C-alpha cells in the first residue's frame, strides 16, 4: 500500500467529490530467502499494510519462522505472484536463483545485501545481481537497515534508507515502500552508486581519521616536551624524582596545549581560504585539495579540542585531592612553622591564579555551547545565522579567552630564563604561536577595506561587467559551511 495508490481516490474526491476505497487491493511484495532479515522484513511489510509472499526452498520447514499473515510458498510461486521481490539471500548464493531467471524478467529485484569486505571488492553485489538477471530491474536499498531496526519499528529515530537504480520508476516505487514503512528514502541515483551504499555500513569514522591523528600527534609531542621539562630535567640536574607527575600532572599540562592548538586549527583554514579568495579576487577558483579537506574537518577538530579541554578541566580539578598535593601542603606548613613565617600570602601569585582559572572556566563554558550546537538535532534546528554566530563569532571569542587563559597562566614566566630548561622555552609559549597568528590575521580581515572587498567576492561580484547576473545566489546559502570566511 503506497501513497501512489492513494492518488486515485484522492483525485476522485476532489474531482467527483466521492472517494472510492475499492480501486486498490493490498499490493503484493515478494521476498526470497528466510534469514533474520527476510523475517524482519516480512513482519514490517505486513505491519505497514503490504501483502507478503515469501519464496523459500523449503516452505514447510520455514513457514513457522514467518508471521501468520505472510504466505510462505515455493520460490517459483512467490515470484509468479509478485512484481517486486526482495532478494534476502547472500551474494554467494545469487546464482541459485538463476533457475527463476525467465519469470524474474521485467520484475523489480531489490538487493538488500551488504559488502563483506571493502578491499577486494570488484563490483557491487547489486551490479553483480543485475549482470545475472539482465532482463530484471535491480534496485539497491535497505542494506543500511538492520533486521533489528526493521522489527523494532520506526519509533527509534526514523532511519534513512539509501536507494539507487538505473530505473527511475523502480527506485521511486521502492522509495515509496520505504516511506510507507516509516523510513526516509534517499534516492542516490543510478545503480553505479550501489558500491558506496553497500560499503556505507562498513564506514568507520572516515571523517575523524585525520583530525584524530593530528590530535594524537600533538598529544605525543607535548607530552614528551613536558616530560623533558618537568620530569627529566629535575631528575638529571637536581636528581629530584618527579616521575609520580606522569599520570596526572603531565596529562594536565599536555591536554590544554592540545585543546588550544586544535581550536586554533579550526579557524586557520578559514583564514587561509579568505586570503586565497582575496588573492584570486574571485570565489569561483577552487581551493587546493589540502585546504578543502581541512575546511571539511573543522567540526571534528573542534569537537576533539572540546574533548581535550574537558579532560583538562577534570584533571586540574583532581589536583588538590591527590595525596601528593596533601603531602606537599603538610610539608609547607611544617616549613612555615619552622621558619616562624606568619603569613604565606603572595598577592601576585593569588591574582595570577584567580584570573587564569576564571578565564579557563569561561573558555570551557563557551566551547561547550559550540559542542552542543554540533549535535545533529540541535544544529539542524538552527538557522544559518544562528549556526554561524555560534561557530564563528562565539568560537573566536572562545579562542581569545583561551589565549588570555594561557597568557595569564604564563604571567612573566616567558621572560624568566630559569624557566628555560635545557634552553627549551616553556610549553605555553609554543602553544601561543598558531592561535596568535590566527587572531592577528583575523584582525586584518576585519579591517573595513579588506572586509568589504571580501564580502563582495563572496557575494559573487567580480570585475567583469555584465556577468553579474550569471553569478547567481550563494552569499548566504554558502556561508554556512565556511562561516569563518563569509561571516568575517
Site for a copy of itself in 411-450 (CB under 8 A): none
Query: Residue 416 or 440: which CB sits closer to a copy of itself?
Result: 416
* Shortest spacing between CB 268 and a copy of itself, in angstroms: 19
Q: In terms of CB distance, is 157 or 448 closer to a copy of itself? A: 157
Shortest spacing between CB 275 and a copy of itself, in angstroms: 20
User: Rounded to the nearest whole angstrom, what is the least distance from the CB of residue 381 to a copy of itself in the complex?
Assistant: 6
What is the DSSP code (8-state) at residue 465? Answer: S
Task: Give the nearest distance from C-beta 176 to a copy of itself in angstroms.
Answer: 6
User: Is the Cβ of residue 397 or residue 433 nearer to a copy of itself in the bound state?
Assistant: 397
Closest CA to 46 of 72, 22, 80, 21: 72
Which position has the grid cell 568560537?
395
* Residues in 245-264 at the binding interface with a copy of itself, rule: CB under 8 A: 245-248, 251
Applying CB under 8 A, which of residues 76, 96, 285, 444 lies at the interface with a copy of itself? 96
Specify the residue, 58 or 293, whose C-beta has the smaller distance to a copy of itself. 58
Nearest distance from residue 98's CB to a copy of itself, in Å? 12
Stretch that binds a copy of itself, among 229-237, 271-279, 339-347, 396-404 (CB under 8 A): 339-347
* 27 makes contact with a copy of itself (CB under 8 A): yes
> Cβ of residue 3: shortest distance to a copy of itself, in angstroms?
5
CA 241 to chain CA mean position, Å:
44
Q: Which of 117, 343, 418, 463 binds a copy of itself (CB under 8 A)?
A: 343
Three-state DSSP string of 57-100: CCHHHHHCCCCCCCEEEEHHHHHHHCCEEEECCCHHHHHHHHHH
Nearer to a copy of itself, 89 or 259 (CB): 89
Write the DSSP string, 405-440: HHHHHHTTGGG-GGG-GGGPPPHHHHHHHHHHHHHH
- Helices 298-318 and 209-227: crossing angle in degrees, nearest 10, is 40
Residue 234 as a binder of a copy of itself (CB under 8 A): the answer is no
Of the candidate spans 6-14, 215-223, 416-424, 430-438, the one that interacts with a copy of itself by CB under 8 A turns out to be 6-14
- Window contacting a copy of itself (CB under 8 A); options: 263-271, 272-280, 377-385, 412-420: 377-385
DSSP string, 2-60: -HHHHHHHHHHHHHHS---S-S-PPPEEEEE--SHHHHHHHHHHHHTT-EEEEEESSHH
**Among 205, 412, 463, 465, which residue interacts with a copy of itself (rule: CB under 8 A)?**
205
Q: Are 184 and 159 in contact (CB under 8 A)?
A: yes
From candidates 329, 433, 437, 444, binder to a copy of itself by CB under 8 A:
329
Radius of gyration of the chain (CA): 32
Cell 539542524 appears where? 380
Half-sphere exposure (Cβ direction) of 439: Cα atoms closer than 13 Å: 18
Per-residue DSSP letter, 240: -
Q: How many residues bind a copy of itself (CB under 8 A)?
A: 173
- Candidate ranges 49-57, 269-277, 430-438, 443-451; the one touching a copy of itself (CB under 8 A): 49-57
CA dist., res. 483 & res. 488, Å (int)? 8
Residue 70 contacts a copy of itself per CB under 8 A: no
Any residues with CB less than 8 A from the CB of 164 and at least 6 apart, and which?
126, 139, 140, 141, 171, 187, 188, 189, 190, 191, 192, 193, 194, 197
| All residues at 6 or more sequence positions from 265 whose CB lies less than 8 Å from its CB, including other chains | 214, 301, 434
Q: Within positions 270 to 299, which residues make up the interface with a copy of itself, using CB under 8 A?
A: 283-284
Q: Which stretch binds a copy of itself (CB under 8 A): 142-150, 261-269, 418-426, 432-440?
A: 142-150
| Close Cβ partners of 208 (under 8 Å, ≥ 6 residues apart) | 300
Q: How far is the CB of 477 from a copy of itself (least distance, A)?
A: 4
Q: Interaction with a copy of itself in 460-479: which residues (CB under 8 A)?
A: 460, 466-479
Nearer to a copy of itself, 168 or 440 (CB): 168
> Shortest Cβ distance from residue 111 to a copy of itself (Å)?
10
Binding a copy of itself (rule: CB under 8 A), the pick from 101, 285, 326, 452 is 326
15 contributes a contact to a copy of itself by CB under 8 A: yes
Cα–Cα distance measured from residue 488 to residue 480, given in angstroms and rounded to the nearest whole number: 12
Q: CA 233 to CA 420: how far, in whole Å?
A: 10
Amino acid at each position: 500500500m503506497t501513497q501512489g495508490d492513494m492518488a486515485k481516490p484522492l483525485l476522485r474526491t476532489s474531482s467527483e467529490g466521492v472517494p472510492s476505497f475499492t480501486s486498490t487491493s493490498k499490493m503484493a511484495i515478494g521476498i526470497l530467502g528466510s534469514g533474520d532479515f527476510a523475517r524482519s522484513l516480512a513482519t514490517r511489510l505486513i505491519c505497514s499494510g503490504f501483502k507478503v509472499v515469501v519464496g523459500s526452498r523449503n516452505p514447510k520447514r520455514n513457514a513457522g519462522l514467518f508471521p501468520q499473515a505472510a504466505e510462505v510458498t515455493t520460490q517459483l510461486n512467490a515470484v509468479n505472484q509478485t512484481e517486486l521481490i526482495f532478494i534476502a539471500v547472500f551474494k554467494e548464493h545469487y546464482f541459485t536463483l538463476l533457475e527463476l531467471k525467465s519469470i524474474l524478467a521485467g520484475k523489480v529485484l531489490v538487493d538488500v545485501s551488504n559488502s563483506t569486505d571493502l578491499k577486494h571488492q570488484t563490483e557491487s553485489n547489486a551490479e553483480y545481481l543485475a549482470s545475472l538477471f539482465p532482463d530484471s530491474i535491480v534496485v539497491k536499498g535497505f542494506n543500511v537497515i538492520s533486521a533489528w531496526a526493521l522489527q523494532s519499528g520506526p519509533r527509534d529515530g526514523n532511519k534513512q534508507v539509501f536507494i539507487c537504480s538505473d530505473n527511475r520508476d523502480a527506485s521511486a516505487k521502492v522509495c515509496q515502500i520505504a516511506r510507507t514503512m516509516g523510513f526516509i528514502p534517499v534516492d542516490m541515483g543510478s545503480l553505479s552508486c550501489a558500491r558506496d551504499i553497500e560499503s556505507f555500513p562498513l564506514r568507520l569514522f572516515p571523517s575523524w581519521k585525520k583530525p584524530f591523528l593530528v590530535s594524537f600527534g600533538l598529544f605525543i609531542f607535548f607530552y614528551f616536551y613536558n616530560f623533558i621539562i618537568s620530569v627529566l630535567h629535575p631528575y638529571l640536574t637536581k636528581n629530584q624524582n618527579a616521575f609520580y607527575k606522569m599520570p596526572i600532572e603531565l596529562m594536565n599540562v599536555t591536554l590544554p596545549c592540545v585543546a588550544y592548538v586544535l581550536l586554533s586549527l579550526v579557524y586557520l583554514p578559514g583564514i587561509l581560504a579568505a586570503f586565497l579568495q582575496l588573492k584570486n579576487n574571485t570565489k569561483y577558483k577552487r581551493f587546493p585539495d589540502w585546504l578543502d579537506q581541512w575546511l571539511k574537518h573543522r567540526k571534528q577538530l573542534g569537537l576533539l579540542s572540546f574533548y581535550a579541554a574537558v579532560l583538562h578541566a577534570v584533571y586540574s580539578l583532581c589536583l588538590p585531592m591527590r595525596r601528593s598535593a596533601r603531602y606537599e601542603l603538610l610539608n609547607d606548613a611544617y616549613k612555615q612553622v619552622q621558619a616562624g613565617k606568619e603569613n604565606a600570602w603572595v598577592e601576585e601569585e593569588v591574582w595570577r591564579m584567580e584570573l587564569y582559572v576564571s578565564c579557563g572556566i569561561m573558555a570551557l563554558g563557551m566551547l561547550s555551547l559550540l559542542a552542543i550546537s554540533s549535535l545533529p538535532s540541535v544544529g539542524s534546528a538552527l538557522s544559518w545565522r544562528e549556526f554561524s554566530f555560534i561557530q564563528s563569532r562565539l568560537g573566536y571569542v572562545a579562542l581569545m579567552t583561551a589565549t588570555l587563559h594561557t597568557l595569564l597562566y604564563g604571567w612573566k614566566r616567558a621572560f624568566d630564563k630559569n624557566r628555560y630548561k635545557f634552553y627549551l622555552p616553556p610549553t605555553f609559549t609554543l602553544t601561543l604561536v598558531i592561535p596568535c597568528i590566527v587572531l592577528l590575521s583575523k584582525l586584518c580581515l576585519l579591517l573595513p577595506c579588506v572586509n568589504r572587498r571580501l564580502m563582495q567576492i563572496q557575494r559573487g561580484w567580480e570585475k567583469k561587467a555584465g556577468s553579474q547576473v550569471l553569478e547567481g545566489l550563494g552569499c548566504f546559502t554558502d556561508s554556512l559551511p565556511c562561516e569563518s570566511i563569509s561571516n568575517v
